[in-house]
A = this chain, B = another copy of it.
């Protein structure tokens, strides 16, 4: 089954209360950094708001039959780690990547996870 990496394009970064700077939002910049490098088995989709605004930038990983995960406090420079983690997630049966194989941001910046749907 294909995993989906949703990337919030409206995230303003960790300082959600800051006034908008000129140019694209940090979430859109993160999407751009990810979009051309989707690993096999991972589809990257833009989404407007993951309701984690105070913890942006944020992304969500989900796939049928697997645990879903949301990560936050991400920066465009984290793209390589996010892609590495998404690749590992896609390769699991249940979405649970062994702890030692998780990139640091997946170990330390999980906002929440949700059990698989039946």
Footprint of B on A, CB under 8 Å? Answer: 4, 6, 45, 47, 49-52, 58, 60, 62-64, 68-70, 72, 110-115, 117-118
Contact = CB atoms under 8 A, between A and B. Distances in A.
Given A68-B68, A70-B70, A51 B110 contact: yes
A114 B114 contact: yes
A58 B118 CA distance: 21
Contacts of A68: 68, 114
B117 A51 contact: no
A62 B117 contact: yes
Nearest to A45: B115
18 contacts: A45-B115, A47-B115, A49-B113, A50-B113, A51-B110, A51-B111, A51-B113, A52-B111, A58-B112, A62-B115, A62-B117, A68-B68, A70-B112, A70-B114, A111-B111, A112-B112, A114-B114, A117-B117
Nearest to A110: B51
Contacts of A60: 112, 114-115
